[in-house]
């Protein structure tokens, strides 16, 4: 078998993997993007990235669906980071304003103030609350928090995650919303 034939066989296998993984990728993309058009673009970009990448990649051969899901998630994260870096136009700017076809309801989270967050913090465990306050309000690093509290850095991350989960649950209860799963 020549190198060209081997390359064509690998490309054919990759295309077959793309076809098989497409429903899964679309499902994940729709959950991440919450918009069908953005999800379709993300899946398209995932396919393009996979086809441009080295078809000999060990991950692509061992678990093609998993490989494609990882690509999709990395592309989604890259998009989120790019959007976060874009400046937002103020209402007084000369930017064109496009009227939406239907008015959008103001999300309940937009009404939450720092005072609401601090009040909700009083309802979570002291260990979690202290780590959250040190990281969010005092702008301290994981290492700094770990040193001051005498715990491991990984424990700081775990407590911060749990604090956020519990804080979200408290705030959702106060706002009368269902917490996102």
| CATH class of the domain comprising 12-84 | mainly alpha
pLDDT band at residue 106 using 50, 70 and 90 as cut-offs: low
Q: Looking at beta carbons, which pairs linking 167-170 to residues 24 or more positions away fall under 8 Å?
A: 167/117, 167/120, 167/121, 167/124, 167/132, 170/120, 170/123, 170/124
Across all residues in the chain, what is the average pLDDT?
80
Q: What is the pTM of this model?
A: 0.44
Both tokens of 95, joined, read: 């930017």
Cα separation, 69 vs 73, in Å, equals 6
Q: What is the pLDDT of residues 53-69, one digit of tens each?
A: 765 555 556 788 888 88
Per-residue model confidence (pLDDT) at position 132: 92
Identical fold, 12-84 and 110-175 = no
The domain ranges of the chain are 12-84, 110-175
CATH code of the region 110-175: 1.10.10.10
The answer to whether 56 and 10 are in contact (CB under 8 A) is: yes
């Amino acid at each position: 078998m020549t190198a060209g034939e081997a390359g064509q066989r690998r490309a054919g296998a990759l295309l077959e993997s793309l076809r098989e993984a497409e429903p899964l990728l679309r499902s994940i993309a729709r959950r991440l993007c919450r918009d069908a058009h953005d999800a379709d673009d993300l899946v398209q970009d995932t396919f393009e990235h996979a086809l441009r990448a080295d078809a000999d990649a060990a991950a692509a051969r061992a678990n093609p669906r998993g490989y494609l899901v990882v690509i999709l998630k990395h592309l989604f994260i890259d998009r989120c980071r790019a959007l976060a870096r874009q400046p937002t136009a103020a209402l007084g700017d000369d930017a064109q304003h496009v009227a939406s076809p239907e008015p959008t309801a103001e999300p309940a989270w937009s009404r939450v103030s720092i005072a609401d967050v601090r009040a909700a913090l009083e309802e979570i465990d002291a260990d979690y609350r202290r780590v959250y306050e040190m990281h969010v309000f005092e702008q301290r690093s994981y290492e700094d928090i770990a040193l001051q509290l005498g715990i491991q850095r990984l424990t700081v991350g775990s407590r911060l995650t749990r604090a956020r989960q519990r804080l979200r649950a408290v705030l959702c209860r106060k706002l009368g919303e269902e917490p996102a799963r």
